[in-house]
Amino acid sequence: MKYGTTMSDSATHGEDQEQVRRVKLERISALGRDPWGQRFDGHQPIHEVRALEPQVPPKDEAGHQPPGPPARIAGRVMLRRTAGKAIFLDLRDWTGRIQIFCGKSQVGDDHWALLQEMDLGDLLGIDGTLGYTKTGELTIFATQIEFLGKSILPPPEKWHGLTDVEQRYRNRSVDLFSNQESLAAFLSRSKIIGAVRNTLGGQGFIEVETPTMQAIAGGAAARPFVTHHNTLDLTLYMRIAPELYLKRLLVGGMERVFEIARVFRNEGISTKHNPEFTMMECYQAYGDYHSMMDLTEAIFTSAIQAVDGQFVRPLNGRSVDFTPPWSRRTYSDLFLEHVGCGIDDSDSVVSKAKAKGFDTVGVAHDVLVSNLFEEYVEDALEGPVFVTDYPASLCPLTKRKTSDPKVAERFELFVQGMELANAYTELNDPILQESLFRSQLAGQKAEDSMAKMDTEFIEALKHAMPPAGGLGIGIDRMVMVLLDKPSIRDVILFPLLRPRSEGVAASGTAEVETRPEPKSEFEGM
RNA sequence: GCCCCUUUAGCUCAAUUGGCAGAGCAGCUGACUCUUAAUCAGCGGGUUGAUGGUUCGAGUCCAUCAGGGGGCACCA
């Protein structure tokens, strides 16, 4: 049997593409090759192979290309162009793409036969030499070809890739290998998180891990997910913040700590909210919220340098300048500027609220102020801007200014109306903390499972926690902003989606059962 | 939870007023040893998300359900 054997009739007509590819698996095995491959040592990232270009010798007088440096790569077949007894492939790995030339006489009959069983989407290992084709493209001229993974499902359309958003989120593996910008975003996300770690480490912070399952979900106001430990017969909550544990470490003498924490909030889903998301929280003993502002700028600066170094960045069709230092504005100044009255001017606040259609009867003055701020100010903040010095009544668990107890030492960082970071001078008075906890809990419904006093935390504070600055940065939102991605699902690899209904979800496996299994030495593995 | 939009071949998309479901890519067969989304010739591939309804006739109109997208609400 020579190469170029024809498909059996059953595989030629009326069969789906998976079945056709399963037949090819068999034939690869019949050629004595493993379609799934083995460890493949010594291959070079494609961008490193491309960097060898200066070593490619010039063509001789006859126009022949002397062999260039050897190259050994592994990658996925993205494009294939056949021209008789020559085949051009575009292979891609996670560093780039490069063209492969496979000539029948150059690779030999055995490899040529193997190439007949190759499809778009397969993983190949290639040995060859670097050179140029007639049209001048840098190309690996293959001498050895090895299957490192046969794709038995067809890849998406080669030009458009996978564009259906639902498919991109549900089928992330395919999205990543077929949409370059998707892979690029997640590689950048990793670089951003690396920069966050490096910056904090460089400033003497140590990374810690605190419980994800907590008996009391504290540190924020959000509805938690509930879970259960069987042996202890214990109701546990997925954390909504690492805050209270990190502060206990401050009491213990760990003076600068941070955690890149996955947190879980049982709330709505939107382009800015995923039920689980990543938050960096850090605490610095003997610091305050001003320390945290400087730190925030340093973190963003190093993250931007890690991505592309461009401080003026596109975002939602506009442009944002991240060159530090960023503007720092007090809450009351911004309120006066955008709402048009002082935050203490009760009559004006009420009339402004009424003008916006807010319900004002029986609503506390501070709530009206907060609503007006969200309505008038936040969306107007192009940023990056630190909004500082919040009314103390809006953030009861924050240290107040000694000069003005009505003002809390807090800032939030805004970019185009989106909150990216939140920081406080932490309250370290256990007696005040406990009474504020109690009054906060008094206003909550009994069904809110978070409405519990964290006495262990208060206990720890009683041993004295140093004055400290605390900072939280929403990592997903930070990545969205730096990469100009409109949805949080574009920066989370596997965002939460409702499971597909049975008929659709089961179709893949159901079809396998009804399909005749090709006989193969690899069957059953 | 509410409102709007959306779902057609493996993928990307068409289908006039309600009148025989179509194209490109991918696949299969053949040609071609320098292509660039290769090209050329031929062939196969569909429960139009699901279930009902209106109609002589439904991808198209109506209802319900499901998935997804966007917005609002909830929510720091």
Distance, angstroms, CA A79 to C1' B27?
15
Sheet holding A213-214, edge to edge: A213-214, A234-238, A226-229
What does R_g of chain A's alpha carbons equal in angstroms?
Answer: 30
- Please state the pTM of the whole predicted model: 0.89
> In percent, how much of chain A has pLDDT > 70?
90
* Separation of A20 CA and B46 C1' (Å): 19
Helix (H) or strand (E) holding A244: helix A243-251
From residues 4-63 of A, list those within 7 angstroms of strand B by Cβ. Answer: 4, 6-7, 11-14, 16-17, 20, 24
How far apart CA A491 and CA A274 sit, in angstroms, is: 11
Strand B bases near protein CB (under 7 Å) are 1, 10-13, 24-39, 43-45, 49-50, 66-76
Pick A510 or A32 by higher pLDDT.
Answer: A32
* Mean pLDDT on A220-230: 88
Mean pLDDT value of segment A188-206: 97
Confidence at residue A444, expressed as pLDDT on a 0 to 100 scale:
57
Question: What is the pLDDT at residue A85?
Answer: 94
The answer, yes or no, to whether residue A61 has pLDDT greater than 80, is no
Nearest-angstrom CA–CA distance, A473 and A222: 17
Q: How far is the CA of A170 from the C1' of B58 (A)?
A: 32
Q: What pLDDT digit, counting tens, does each position of A108-162 carry?
A: 999 999 999 999 999 999 999 999 999 999 999 999 999 999 999 999 999 999 9
**Which of the two residues, A398 and A446, has the higher pLDDT score?**
A398
User: Which two tokens mark A126?
Assistant: 């290639």
A10 pLDDT more than 80: no
**pLDDT tens-digit map of A253-308:** 999 999 999 999 988 889 999 999 999 999 999 999 999 999 999 999 999 999 99
Looking at residue A126, the DSSP 8-state letter turns out to be: E
ipTM, 2 decimals?
Answer: 0.90
Chain A 341..400 CB hits on strand B (< 7 A): 370, 394-395
* Chain A residues 130-159 within 7 Å (CB) of strand B: 133-137, 139, 153-154, 156-159
pLDDT higher at A328 or A441: A328
User: Cα(A391)–Cα(A365) distance, rounded to whole angstroms?
Assistant: 11
pLDDT of residue A351: 81
Say whether pLDDT at A40 is over 80: yes
A103 touches strand B (CB under 7 A): yes
Q: How many residues belong to chain A?
A: 525
Q: Beta-carbon neighbour count of residue A209 at 10 Å?
A: 10
Q: Which of A278-287, A311-320, A412-421, A512-521 has the lowest mean pLDDT?
A: A512-521
Instruction: Give residues 481-520 of chain A lying near strand B (Cβ < 7 A).
Output: 486-487, 489, 497-498, 500-501, 503-504
At A367 the pLDDT is 81
Report which residue is nearest nucleotide B65 when distances run from CA to C1': A501
Q: Of A83-92, A473-482, A503-512, which gets the smallest average pLDDT?
A: A503-512
Longest CA pairwise span in chain A (Å):
94
Cα–Cα distances in angstroms (integers) from residue A101 to residues A56, A64, A158, A202, A476, in the given order: 16, 15, 19, 47, 42
Cα–Cα distances in Å, from A241 out to A259, A265, A279, A285? Answer: 10, 9, 8, 19
Residue A116 backbone dihedrals phi, psi, to 5 degrees: -65, -20
Q: Please report, rounded to whole angstroms, the spatial distance between the CA atom of protein residue A16 and the C1' atom of nucleotide B11.
A: 14
- Helix (H) / strand (E) element for A257: namely strand A256-264
Mean pLDDT of A369-381: 86
Q: Which nucleotide is nearest to A501 (CA to C1')?
A: B66
In this structure, are strands A312-315 and A318-321 parallel, antiparallel, or unpaired?
Answer: antiparallel
Check residue A263 and give its pLDDT.
94
**DSSP of A364-411, one letter per residue?**
-HHHHHHHHIIIIIGGG--S-EEEEEEEGGG-TTBPBPSS-TTEEEEE
Query: Is residue A73's pLDDT more than 50?
Result: yes
Question: What does the block give as tokens for A163?
Answer: 């564009």
Q: Nearest nucleotide by C1' from A107 CA? A: B33
Residue A393 has pLDDT above 90, yes or no: no
pLDDT at A21: 94
pLDDT band at A439; cut points 50, 70, 90: confident
CA–C1' A462–B36 (A): 71
Residue nearest to nucleotide B40 (CA to C1'): A83
Q: Is the CB of A215 under 7 A from strand B?
A: no
Whole-angstrom Cα distance, residue A356 to residue A374? 12
- pLDDT value of position A501: 54
pLDDT confidence of residue A357: 72
Q: Which nucleotide is nearest to A20 (CA to C1')?
A: B27
Interval A505-517: pLDDT, tens: 333 333 333 333 3
Between residues A442 and A199, which one has the greater pLDDT? A199
d(CA A299, CA A481): 14
pLDDT of residue A490 exceeding 70:
yes
Write down the mean pLDDT value for chain A. Answer: 86
Sign of CA dihedral A482, A418, A389, A443: negative
- At residue A353, the 3 state secondary structure works out as helix
pLDDT at A101 exceeding the cut of 80: yes
Distance, CA of A157 to C1' of B24, in Å: 10
Chain A 163-202 residues whose Cβ is under 7 Å from strand B: 163-167, 169
- The H or E element containing residue A40 is none
pLDDT of residue A26: 93
CB atoms within 10 A of CB A341: 15
Does residue A99 reach within 7 angstroms of strand B, measured from its CB? yes
Question: Does residue A390 register a pLDDT over 80?
Answer: yes
pLDDT at A2 over 50: no
**CA to C1' distance (Å), from A82 to B38:** 8
Closest Cα partner for A114 from A33, A7, A1?
A: A33
Distance A228 CA to B3 C1' (A): 37
Count, in order, helices (H) and strands (E) of chain A: 17, 18
> Does the CB of A265 fall within 7 Å of any strand B atom?
yes
Considering all nucleic acid strands, name the nucleotide whose C1' atom is nearest to the C-alpha of residue A103: B33
Residue A389 CB: number of other CB atoms within 10 A?
21
Q: Give me the DSSP letters along A181-243.
A: HHHHHHHHHHHHHHHHHHHHHHTT-EE----SEESS--SSS-PPPEEEETTTTEEEEE-S-SH
Cβ of A84 near strand B (distance < 7 A) = yes
Which of residues 275 to 334 on A have a Cβ less than 7 angstroms from any strand B atom?
none
Highest mean pLDDT among A89-93, A169-173, A497-501: A89-93
How many beta carbons lie within 10 A of that of residue A217, not counting itself? 27
